[in-house]
A and B are shown apart, each in its own frame.
Chain A
């Protein structure tokens, strides 16, 4: 059982290791590998082949091909496990305990994790000839239109282990949650400096709302990982002027759309912002790369939406309940802003410690400017998108804010922290006294 589990993780990481070059190769292999495997498993279910062994052989062949490229030095492997500070290691341990504390109390996940994500995973695991029944669920709370990255990844691992024990779900959740922190750490360290990286990663690692949401077996933390990976790839593209990273960034953005509908919004915003930028710069080659890398994901999402044949409650409400009339209700705007402020104070209070380094001032590194401003535009457009989603929602706004605002914040939190860290002057040479 556990050997099957370890094997499934190993295969996913090997497949993900096909990404271009250092740095971040190992960290990128996590979202890339699990993203690809979840799509493979979904496509396998679509074929209607009943024998799961066929799928396992297929994945094995893919892994062997990737390994061939890695070990014949066409893509030379380079894994360096770097030492981390004592405070980060201690925060890591504390974070893991907070995470596991939630897990032992909610081993089948939070209500949403159980009802939406794990139920779908069961459809994709128990009888693979009947998995499409999930789209027949009659009530909107089952969210039939939600993409299948998490259920597919979970069901795939269960197929390898032979049972649906929640210990496997939670290990997957640990991988995503802590990868997000370490990706943030290494990104800040690479583009800014080690001091800030350590500070931000430690504080995020001790933030209970982040850990608890990770342990809830919902898709918000995996989404935050894909969003962060996409933006880091964009930064790497501008740093190294290597189009591989642009393609990789687009691929991660595409996978975001495969994780959650909010990820679809990120994907579209990413394509819009990079598309306009490359058009303005007359960089048609990069425009072509971005478009080409996005096409498989556009096809995947279109096909999935066609397959599930289930309208999104927010979009359906726009026409059925004429929610566009909400645009003229000032009360809704105030309610969202008030809830946001209260939510940040109540659940994200630890992160306010990160205001202290502002004492040393603000300074954006010259080399990062283009990538920073593009990412900032993406972040702002995302926030506007979230805001408009709340405004135009057909549901009771108070109910919706209560049950979703913290998760929405978490989806872009690592990205926000990354961009904020890049603005800080602390740790740069001219601030040392």
Chain B
């Protein structure tokens, strides 16, 4: 039995669309979301970035900004959560550069439980529930 080219083409196209039938609700869902949902504002990165980004001017003329957290300094880049925090803050403070130490003039602290205080750092601002700005007291 010979199968025509047209039959094969139609079969592949039919199967491709059949396997994509689950995307049909998107025809309503996506236009609705784009039109009525503030998807940019509720984006998880954006929610974390905005409070610091709004105060980005604080870091003007500072090449480096410090970072510390309730995760041990040596383990910051080993844990997914602290890596996330670090890079989210880096995005927010660019073009300043975030470094994993507390030796800079300004230091951003992210704490999941209690704020860990350091003698020579004075808290000067709270960005959100977990994120604080400290200034080094010489």
Question: Which residues of A pack against B, CB within 8 Å?
Answer: 87, 90-91, 94, 97-98, 100-101, 104-108, 111, 114-115, 118-119, 122-123, 126-127, 130-131, 133-134, 136-139, 141-142, 165-166, 195, 198-199, 202-203, 206, 350, 353-354, 356-357, 359-360, 426-427, 431-433
Mask: chain B, 10-36; 1 = CB below 8 Å from A; 0 = not: 011101110110010011011001100
B12 touches A133 (CB 8 A): no
Q: Told that A87-B13, A97-B23, A360-B5 touch, could you supply 17 new A-B pairs with CB distance under 8 A?
A: A91-B17, A101-B29, A114-B87, A119-B91, A126-B56, A127-B60, A130-B96, A134-B95, A136-B64, A139-B100, A142-B90, A195-B9, A203-B16, A206-B17, A350-B20, A353-B16, A427-B5
Question: Which residues of B pack against A, CB within 8 Å?
Answer: 2-6, 8-9, 11-13, 15-17, 19-20, 23, 26-27, 29-30, 33-34, 37, 39-40, 43, 45-46, 49, 56, 60, 63-64, 77, 83-84, 86-87, 90-91, 94-100
Residues in B whose Cβ lies below 8 Å from that of A359: 3, 8
Residues in B whose Cβ lies below 8 Å from that of A141: 77, 83, 87
| Contact status of A138 and B4, CB under 8 A, knowing A101-B29, A107-B39, A353-B15 | no
A202 touches B5 (CB 8 A): no
| Contact status of A206 and B16, CB under 8 A, knowing A97-B30, A98-B26, A108-B45 | yes
Residue contacts A-B, CB under 8 angstroms, 27 given: A87-B17, A104-B37, A106-B43, A108-B49, A115-B91, A118-B91, A126-B56, A126-B95, A127-B60, A130-B63, A130-B96, A133-B95, A137-B90, A141-B77, A141-B87, A142-B90, A198-B9, A202-B16, A206-B17, A206-B20, A353-B19, A354-B12, A356-B8, A360-B3, A360-B8, A427-B5, A433-B4
User: When the two chains form the complex, which single residue of A97, A138, A350 contacts B27, counting CB atoms closer than 8 Å?
Assistant: A97
Interface centre among B2, B16, B97 (most CB of A within 10 A): B16
B63 touches A133 (CB 8 A): yes
The secondary structure that dominates the A interface is: helix
Instruction: Give min CB distance, A387 to chain B, whole Å.
Output: 28
Residues in B whose Cβ lies below 8 Å from that of A98: 23, 26
Residues in A whose Cβ lies below 8 Å from that of B49: 108
CA distance A118 to B15 in the complex (A): 37
CA distance A378 to B12 in the complex (A): 29
Instruction: Give min CB distance, A125 to chain B, whole Å.
Output: 9
CA distance A111 to B84 in the complex (A): 9
A97 touches B26 (CB 8 A): yes
Residues in A whose Cβ lies below 8 Å from that of B4: 432-433
Residues in B whose Cβ lies below 8 Å from that of A130: 63, 95-96
CA distance A268 to B75 in the complex (A): 38
A166 touches B40 (CB 8 A): yes
CA distance A94 to B94 in the complex (A): 37
